[in-house]
Amino acid sequence: MSSSFESTRAPEPVGAFPHAKRVGNLLFLSGVGPRVRGSKEIP
């Protein structure tokens, strides 16, 4: 079983990948740099 998760509170990923993906009992998190949501601005 595999599930992908997208957050509306986190910055958008730079690539075409989800914020997190669960495969069985494992949870994989993607690395998202410090950016302001809705822009490419780095605070």
* Amino acid 42: pLDDT: 72
In a domain, residue 43? The reply is no
* Amino acid 2: pLDDT: 77
Residue 40 CA to residue 27 CA, distance in Å, equals 26
* Amino acid 34: pLDDT: 73
**Each residue's pLDDT tens digit, 1-35:** 678 877 777 777 767 777 788 999 998 887 767 77
Domain of 14, in residue numbers? 1-25
In a domain, residue 42? The reply is no
In a domain, residue 4? The reply is yes
Total residue count of the chain as it appears in this document: 43
The count of structural domains within the chain is: 1
In the predicted structure, residue 41 carries a pLDDT above the cut 80: no
* Amino acid 26: pLDDT: 92
Task: Give 31's DSSP letter.
Answer: -
In a domain, residue 31? The reply is no
